[in-house]
Chains A and B, each alone.
Chain A
Amino acid sequence: MTKELFQGLSRRDYMRQSAAAAIAALTGAAPNLLAQASKPKATADSVILLWMAGGMAQTETFDPKTYTPYENNLESNRVLSTFPSIATSVDGIRFSQGLEELAQVMDRGALIRSHRVGDLGFILHSRHQYHWHTGYEPPQAVAVPHMGAWVAKLLGQKNPDMPPFLVIGQNMEIGAESDPLKSFHTSGFLGTEWGPFLITDPRDAIASVQPPAKMSGGRFQRRYEAYRELAAASPMAREGSSFQRESLLRSMENANRLLQSPASKAFDLTLEPKGSYDAYNTGRFGLGCLLARRLVESGARFVEITSEYIPFRHWDSHENGHERAAGMKAQIDRPVARLIRDLERSGHLDRTIVILASEFGRDMMTEGKPGREVQNQVKQPDRITSPQHYGMHRHFTEAGSVLLFGGGVKRGYLHGQTADERPCSIVKDPVTIEDLHATVYSALGIPPDAGVEVEKRPVYVTKDGKGNPVRALLA
């Protein structure tokens, strides 16, 4: 360890880096950080990602178009939105009906209506989700990490007793797409230290930081003490590398400390005042927002709450789209608005970026990108003869909406625009995944070409290090 490296680092950082370097030397597993010449000035130090899994229809949420009410024999091609629009707290920005609470906090954040995701051909949700979360299209020759793992790795733990990267709300066994899901819910080549810590149901979160079921706190503590005694008594305790042995003992100590720490209280939703709990409680997603708030307030770096991807469920509506969109809006509207207000009240919004995004938008007619044929996955009749057909059932990758709040993001700002006529393509300021990520990384003080060396080649936080922050989005 050279002297230069020690300068400017706290003792904790130094210890951590020493440990990482020693592990790298021994196992070759932990990748080296690439040198960075200059870092952008950080305006945020944590992230909450509200993931609208399954493809959120932008014209039914944050980019409403002309409303065409349901009637029998309605021509499909005429329908752009199935809800009327409502005013928000920002002049000139209107939302779709059903988002009244969120409309009231629009003045705290920025709305991107021109998010353009990748063109991956025949649509597969999990593949687009992989692309969005990692910045890289699958398959990849190396295991690329989830954005949250990058943030955790590059910024480190804010609170040593709080896992830096957590994902709330996603069951990993969902049938045929389970494996693709697992393949991006990973820290990949960064190593398992960087998560993700998975919590399927926020109501069970407390179980993940408590002694195992059926084990009392007293027994749990006695077990750990006995473990330490046995480990110390082993005559093999002096054979071979002390480093590996010690790093194992230290990891156990960290886990034990975390489970007893004040930070672990953040996982316990029963400690939340009833009024607040009820206000968030629109179901699992709403309570996920509450949990995310508590975790970030206790020092988590990156928390993702997902509305959960399960084929054909939640936002992934292949039929009855109008009704389904109304249901999804009812799930997200109140808790997300409450989250913003609560973070603002506690002062955390200044340093926390909240992102609401989805793998793509939806449309009634266009599958994929306009003008580029991919296989349609939903039969939409020319004329709508049943409410079943009234909704945005096709997967639209040309344009989607993204909300950003806090952490240095401009307030009350609208970025980009889509056409008012089908195919409702982006007409102004497209924002790619790379550039959106670069904007978020930048706000966190991470340059878009920060990265690590994997198998001797550089891999960056944004694809090829080429993301460009959208300055206009930052205050």
Chain B
Amino acid sequence: MSIIRISIALLLPCLASAQKVDFLKEVQPIFTARCIACHSSGKPQAGLRIHTRNDLLRGGQNGPAIVAGHAADSLLIQKVTGQRGLRMPPSGPPLTPQEITLLRAWIDQGAVWDGALETGPPLAALAPRRPPVPAGTAVNPIDRFIDSYLAANKLPTAQPVADSLFARRAWLDITGLPPTLQELESFRRNTAANKRTVLVDQLLARRRPYAEHWISFWNDLLRNDEGVIYHGERKSITAWLLAALENNTPYDELVRALLNPAPKSGAEGFLTGMTWRGVVSASQNPPMQAAQNSAQVFLGVNLKCAACHDSFVNRWKLRDTYGLAAMFSEEPLELVRCDVKTGQMAEARFPFPDLNIAFDSTPGATMESRRRAAASWFTHPDNGRFARTIVNRYWKALLGRGLVEPADDMDVPPWNRDLLDWLASDFADHHYDLQHLLRQIITSRAYQMPAAPDSAEKAYLFRGPTLRRLTAEQFEDTISAVTGDWRINSPRTETYATYTREWRLKSDPLSRALGRPIRDQVYTERATEATTFQALELTNGPQLSQRLERASRAMLGQLPPSPENLYDSKLMRSGKSEVDIDITGVRELHLLIQDVDSYDPARVIAFWANAQLIGPNGATPVTAAPVLNIADKGYTRFRAQATIDDKSRASDISPAVRFFIFKEKPDPDRLIRIAKPANGQQSHPLDDAARKSPATLAQTLYLQLLQREATPKETTIAARILTAGASTTQPAGLEDLLWSILLTPEFQFIH
């Protein structure tokens, strides 16, 4: 070993050990040119990554790559000289003696790492590109690109999927709900050649269901949630976003409203981000969050590393992130590197210099002028990356895998650049119309191909859409739509509860297990893996089982309607509320006090004070028992004071209760009155045929849940489950069949 070192040192006397090696100029270029291709993120060879000094010190499967100060003991040197195992790099010429000497000297001098390794693919161009549509017979230009792609890669073209499967995809992808039996039937019977396109247009025109489905996609991207409090700022944009989707607001306009929100527009929440009480790391203050989020979501640029220090994994520098953050900051921003102030001030600028928008950069200029410039810059027609990023996200949402993967790194080469560029330009040329984009993709044959099978190829080849897992929202909403048992949104301070789709509710253990994120961060992709944990929630979690139990009884007409309350105090935290209600003809009074979320419910003192029954002989004081039997006594009014005792007002009790009166035994889940259901949200008991014949019911459920007929074998199994040993359908049997179908892979995935 030592002989080699000496000989090289003799050959190159110019490189005396005293001469300091410049990492950035001398060492990093060697890594970049010869090592990084294999020892990078993802699946580095031999487990060795070389993005940081730590990576080298830690090493890979064969141990540390370097021992700082000891080149001779460093595996890296032993490998590049061929002393140990396969010589590195394994392809191309070996490193030159000069290069090896530089590496040795660098390690001997302590392996000082004073810079970032620029890795990953080079930056993709910013400008839009309009490739010509290839010749061919396909009507949808997407398919011309796909046909020529398939031909070039010698891949088979597939027939579009059958009507029933297309219906399932289209309905779930556009509205998030399955078709009703009638809708499915009429679509399947339709013989018109263009019926799929017509269907897509019809579904897109249903703006409310469309908006209520796509809002979850946007909530994830924009990190928006309802009713979430962080002891700081977090402003909901829900009302604005829902309206923007319903109005099909063009995407560029939508983003301009987010990046330069008019006061009280309702769109301010995106820039506000999320703040917590107390001191927050400089990398996470609102302007820095805005920079990272807008770059990630709208441009597929990851500035998260570069919010603390120059990135080790891509080209972005700390000053780039601060430059963009300064666009969204009222105050001048000082660069902070790994929580240490640098004394340098951020200079407001855009991350890609190819496109510039003039703005007033003088110190006194308003943030509004910078924000306006930023909004124009992101959405500028010459910013092709803006359109490419969103069309790629839509492609991924609809076909399971992006044209670029990961979709948050738009510098990775797409598997079909022409298609990506064309789709983006077409989207821009259609005024950034999101519904146009959906229509373009869903009406393509590419979207309508059968799901791609597993493939062993190393590099991705497009063979059709991949299976997509139903989202938590699609899962819950389908149960609601099919059983008629919609979920209930019960605001604490309102008189009426409403039936609702899942997105409007706070996340819960079931929806979280099914992948709904806690939107503390931007989510551009949901976890879709099937886990034991999730299966447990689905198998014996109380939420799903209670829901199916109730829904089954409702479908079989065996669920009596829930009684409505005669009195509802709404949320009370202290004091008294006067009760004076008409009880003419009432036989029983049920007096209830429900804890809403007191800190210490056991210590809350809440009661009905001065309860009186008013009848023909005047007032009769009563003790407020939970149930008062007053049949045939001629009472006409009940008076009392719903009271929270002052002794409960301690900080560690913090009462929050609600008083109710019913005239019969209430349903504990439906104490609050429910507003008249919206169209399509009525419960719909099964028709007679389905109720009488288990086989007919099985067919109905298969059509509603899977959009196809059950096979004879499935019908037999299903009927056996439904009857559970009896001769007719049992509520428990229906519950079990619903559960079984809902958890089959066929239902859980969009094929």
Q: Flag if B228 contacts A179 (CB, 8 Å).
A: yes
A311: interface (CB < 8 Å): yes
A190 → chain B, closest Cβ, in Å?
10
Q: A121-B278, A209-B540, A251-B535 are in contact. Are A227 and B744 (CB under 8 A)?
A: yes
Residues of B within 8 A of A457 (CB): 304-305, 311-313
B301 → chain A, closest Cβ, in Å?
11
B253: interface (CB < 8 Å): no
CB < 8 Å neighbour of B451 from A120, A208, A240: A240
Q: Flag if B518 contacts A143 (CB, 8 Å).
A: yes
B406: interface (CB < 8 Å): yes
A104: interface (CB < 8 Å): no
Q: Flag if A455 contacts B304 (CB, 8 Å).
A: yes
Complex CA–CA separation, A443 to B409 (angstroms) = 38
Q: Flag if B277 contacts A122 (CB, 8 Å).
A: yes
Complex CA–CA separation, A178 to B230 (angstroms) = 9
Q: Which of B42-84 contact A (CB under 8 A)?
A: 42-44, 47-49, 51-52, 54, 58-61, 63-64
Nearest first, the 4 closest Cβ-Cβ pairs linking A and B are A240-B451, A35-B47, A121-B279, A212-B545
Q: Flag if B745 contacts A237 (CB, 8 Å).
A: yes
A456: interface (CB < 8 Å): yes
Q: Flag if A27 contacts B529 (CB, 8 Å).
A: yes
A429: interface (CB < 8 Å): no
Q: Identify the stretch in A68-76, A255-263, A290-298, A336-344 within 8 Å (CB) of chain B at 4 or more residues.
A: A255-263
Please give me the residue from chain A that is nearest to B65 by CB atom. Answer: A37
Q: Flag if A449 contacts B54 (CB, 8 Å).
A: yes
A138: interface (CB < 8 Å): yes
A427: interface (CB < 8 Å): no
CB < 8 Å neighbour of B527 from A32, A191, A214, A254: A191
B672: interface (CB < 8 Å): no
Residues of A within 8 A of B47 (CB): 35
Q: Flag if A456 contacts B41 (CB, 8 Å).
A: yes
Q: Flag if B451 contacts A241 (CB, 8 Å).
A: yes
Q: Flag if A32 contacts B42 (CB, 8 Å).
A: yes
Q: Flag if A456 contacts B313 (CB, 8 Å).
A: yes
Residues of A within 8 A of B512 (CB): 192
Q: Identify the stretch in A242-250, A270-278, A467-475 within 8 Å (CB) of chain B at 4 or more residues.
A: A242-250
Complex CA–CA separation, A373 to B238 (angstroms) = 37
Contact with B along A200-237 (1 / 0, CB 8 A): 00000001111111110001001110110111011111
Residues of A within 8 A of B717 (CB): 226, 229-230, 233
B575: interface (CB < 8 Å): no
Please give me the residue from chain B that is nearest to A224 by CB atom. Answer: B539
> Could you tell me how many residues of chain B have their Cβ less than 8 Å away from some Cβ of chain A?
112
Complex CA–CA separation, A194 to B532 (angstroms) = 9
B658: interface (CB < 8 Å): no
Contact with B along A180-194 (1 / 0, CB 8 A): 101100100001111
Q: Flag if B467 contacts A163 (CB, 8 Å).
A: no
Q: A27-B528, A258-B536, A457-B313 are in contact. Are A4 and B714 (CB under 8 A)?
A: no
Contact with B along A128-163 (1 / 0, CB 8 A): 000000000111111100000000000000000001
Q: Flag if B746 contacts A175 (CB, 8 Å).
A: no
Q: Flag if A179 contacts B229 (CB, 8 Å).
A: yes
Q: Which of B491-524 contact A (CB under 8 A)?
A: 507, 509, 512-513, 515, 517-518, 520-521
Residues of A within 8 A of B276 (CB): 124, 127, 138-139, 180
A283 → chain B, closest Cβ, in Å?
11
B281: interface (CB < 8 Å): yes
Q: A139-B289, A234-B746 are in contact. Are A208 and B540 (CB under 8 A)?
A: yes
Q: A37-B58, A192-B531, A248-B748 are in contact. Are A186 and B518 (CB under 8 A)?
A: yes
CB < 8 Å neighbour of B452 from A27, A241, A319: A241
Q: Flag if B120 contacts A244 (CB, 8 Å).
A: no
Q: Flag if A234 contacts B744 (CB, 8 Å).
A: yes
Contact with A along B223-237 (1 / 0, CB 8 A): 000001111000000
Complex CA–CA separation, A210 to B536 (angstroms) = 10
Residue among A28, A36, A119, A163 facing the most chain B CB atoms (10 A cut-off): A28
21 A–B contacts from the bound complex (CB under 8 Å): A29-B526, A35-B47, A138-B276, A143-B520, A163-B536, A180-B231, A191-B531, A213-B545, A226-B736, A226-B737, A230-B717, A230-B741, A230-B744, A233-B713, A234-B746, A239-B450, A254-B532, A255-B539, A319-B652, A374-B278, A458-B52
Residues of A within 8 A of B61 (CB): 4, 35
Residues of A within 8 A of B44 (CB): 35
A111 → chain B, closest Cβ, in Å?
29
Residue among B711, B744, B749 facing the most chain A CB atoms (10 A cut-off): B744
Sample of 15 further A-B pairs with CB below 8 A, known A139-B275, A207-B542, A236-B706 = A27-B529, A29-B525, A141-B307, A163-B532, A177-B231, A223-B740, A226-B737, A226-B740, A231-B743, A233-B714, A244-B530, A255-B532, A259-B540, A310-B600, A374-B278
Q: Flag if A30 contacts B453 (CB, 8 Å).
A: no
Residues of B within 8 A of A240 (CB): 450-453, 466-467, 749, 751
Q: Flag if B58 contacts A449 (CB, 8 Å).
A: yes
- A residues near B (Cβ < 8 Å) are 4, 23, 26-30, 32, 34-38, 119-124, 126-127, 137-143, 163, 173-180, 182-183, 186, 191-195, 197-198, 207-215, 219, 222-224, 226-227, 229-231, 233-237, 239-245, 247-252, 254-256, 258-259, 310-313, 316-319, 374, 449, 453, 455-458, 465
Residues of B within 8 A of A243 (CB): 454
Q: Flag if A163 contacts B533 (CB, 8 Å).
A: yes
Q: Flag if A456 contacts B599 (CB, 8 Å).
A: no
B569: interface (CB < 8 Å): no
CB < 8 Å neighbour of B278 from A35, A127, A242, A311: A127
Complex CA–CA separation, A92 to B148 (angstroms) = 82
Residues of A within 8 A of B528 (CB): 27, 29
Residues of A within 8 A of B748 (CB): 248
Q: Flag if B231 contacts A142 (CB, 8 Å).
A: no
B462 → chain A, closest Cβ, in Å?
14
CB < 8 Å neighbour of B746 from A32, A237, A312: A237
Residues of A within 8 A of B312 (CB): 457
Q: A212-B545, A241-B467 are in contact. Are A455 and B408 (CB under 8 A)?
A: yes
Residues of A within 8 A of B58 (CB): 34-37, 449
Residues of A within 8 A of B532 (CB): 163, 193, 251, 254-255, 258
Residues of B within 8 A of A23 (CB): 529
A230 → chain B, closest Cβ, in Å?
5
Q: Flag if A236 contacts B746 (CB, 8 Å).
A: yes
B284: interface (CB < 8 Å): yes
Residues of B within 8 A of A465 (CB): 54
Complex CA–CA separation, A176 to B228 (angstroms) = 8
B651: interface (CB < 8 Å): yes
Please give me the residue from chain A that is nearest to B278 by CB atom. Answer: A121
Please give me the residue from chain B that is nearest to A123 by CB atom. Answer: B278
Residues of B within 8 A of A139 (CB): 274-276, 280, 284, 289, 520
Complex CA–CA separation, A174 to B743 (angstroms) = 32
Residues of A within 8 A of B284 (CB): 139-141
B597: interface (CB < 8 Å): yes
Complex CA–CA separation, A181 to B536 (angstroms) = 22
Q: Flag if B529 contacts A141 (CB, 8 Å).
A: no
Please give me the residue from chain B that is nearest to A235 by CB atom. Answer: B711
Residues of A within 8 A of B453 (CB): 240-242
Q: Flag if A124 contacts B277 (CB, 8 Å).
A: yes
Complex CA–CA separation, A215 to B313 (angstroms) = 53
A29 → chain B, closest Cβ, in Å?
5
Contact with A along B723-751 (1 / 0, CB 8 A): 01000000010001101110111101101
Complex CA–CA separation, A455 to B512 (angstroms) = 21
Residues of A within 8 A of B520 (CB): 138-140, 143, 183
Residue among B47, B59, B278, B532 facing the most chain A CB atoms (10 A cut-off): B532
Q: Flag if B59 contacts A127 (CB, 8 Å).
A: no
Residues of B within 8 A of A207 (CB): 542
Q: Flag if B540 contacts A312 (CB, 8 Å).
A: no
Residues of A within 8 A of B531 (CB): 191-193, 251
Q: Which of B396-427 contact A (CB under 8 A)?
A: 405-406, 408-409
Residues of A within 8 A of B650 (CB): 319
